[in-house]
């Protein structure tokens, strides 16, 4: 709302609020989406979106939600092309993690990917995405062969 000019009745606010669809992970329905609805109703008298589409969550091989601070986020391009453990570490240093978080992520990467990520090709990701669209269940991504 604020980015559209609220509390002023701007043209952007009139044109773009409410929107039709919000796409989100199911895990934040109460913590974020419900609060967006309550705030929108309180401040404008309108629900901020008409429909909510919930997508699956991609989790690591241990079932944990992917998180930069855990170091378990995998770049899909790295799954397609493969990447060495050293290059995975370099990518952490290029990001915006706190140095303590980088060390925790490096520890996880050494355990999870001691030889890096092997080249899996695009078909591995196509299979994963097809699985996500058919059942809505979480996806535990494991690149170990």
| Average pLDDT of the chain, as a whole number | 86
Instruction: Choose among 83, 139, 76: nearest CA to 109.
Output: 83
Mean pLDDT, to the nearest integer, of 41-62?
90
- For helices 85-94 and 99-112, the axis angle rounded to 10 degrees is 160
Q: What is the pLDDT of residues 79-93, one digit of tens each?
A: 889 999 999 999 999
pLDDT tens-digit map of 29-50: 889 999 999 999 999 999 999 9
Distance CA(144)–CA(116), nearest Å, equals 9
């Amino acid at each position: 709302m604020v980015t559209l000019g609220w509390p002023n009745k701007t043209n952007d606010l009139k044109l773009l609020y409410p929107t039709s669809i919000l796409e989100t992970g199911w895990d934040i329905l109460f913590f974020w989406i419900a609060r967006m609805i309550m705030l929108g109703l309180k401040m404008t008298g309108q629900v901020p979106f008409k429909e909510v589409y919930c997508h699956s969550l991609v989790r690591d091989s241990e079932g944990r939600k992917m998180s930069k601070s855990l170091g378990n986020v995998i770049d899909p391009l790295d799954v397609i092309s493969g990447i060495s453990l050293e290059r995975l570490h370099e990518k952490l240093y290029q990001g915006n993690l706190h140095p303590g978080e980088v060390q925790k992520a490096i520890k996880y990467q050494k355990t999870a990917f001691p030889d890096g990520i092997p080249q899996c090709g695009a078909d591995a990701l196509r299979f994963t995405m097809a699985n996500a669209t058919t059942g809505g269940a979480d996806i535990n991504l494991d690149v170990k062969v």
